[in-house]
Amino acid sequence: MIGAKGMAAVSIYPTKSLIIEEALTPELLEAYYTLQAEFLHQDKSRMIGTWFDKETGKTWLDVIHVTDLENAIDLGKEHNQKAVFDLENIKEISTGGTGEAA
């Protein structure tokens, strides 16, 4: 999805998040995918995303929702996310949240 014009990724499923402190490995990513596969396949806008939190040094594995940038920003604010990821411009956009489940 990188480079998708006008699109962004946002985490809106807090119960699906996994926070890891160790290095992300292909095995860990595969295990997470297996755990989330049924949920992912229910909606084509759902994908797996990763986010490295520079403040805490932790990596988040999430089921993300891919939508247009404006909607992603609104959803990010609604779901208390720190940022959304602009897929077209390959950058984080702050949404002002704390990242904690509401």
Within-domain flag for 73: yes
Q: For residue 26, what are its two tokens?
A: 């292909």
Range of the domain at 57: 7-94
Query: Domain tally for the chain?
Result: 1
Residue 42 has a CB neighbour count (10 Å cut-off) of 8
Within-domain flag for 101: no
Within-domain flag for 88: yes
Model pTM? 0.82
The pLDDT, as a whole number, for residue 102 is 60
Within-domain flag for 62: yes
* Statement: residue 3 has pLDDT above 90: no
Q: For residue 86, what are its two tokens?
A: 């602009």
Within-domain flag for 100: no
pLDDT tens digits along 31-83? 999 999 999 999 998 999 998 888 888 999 999 999 999 999 999 999 999 89
Within-domain flag for 102: no
Within-domain flag for 2: no
Taking the C-alpha atoms of residue 76 and residue 79, their distance in angstroms, rounded to an integer, is 5
Within-domain flag for 77: yes
The pLDDT, as a whole number, for residue 67 is 96
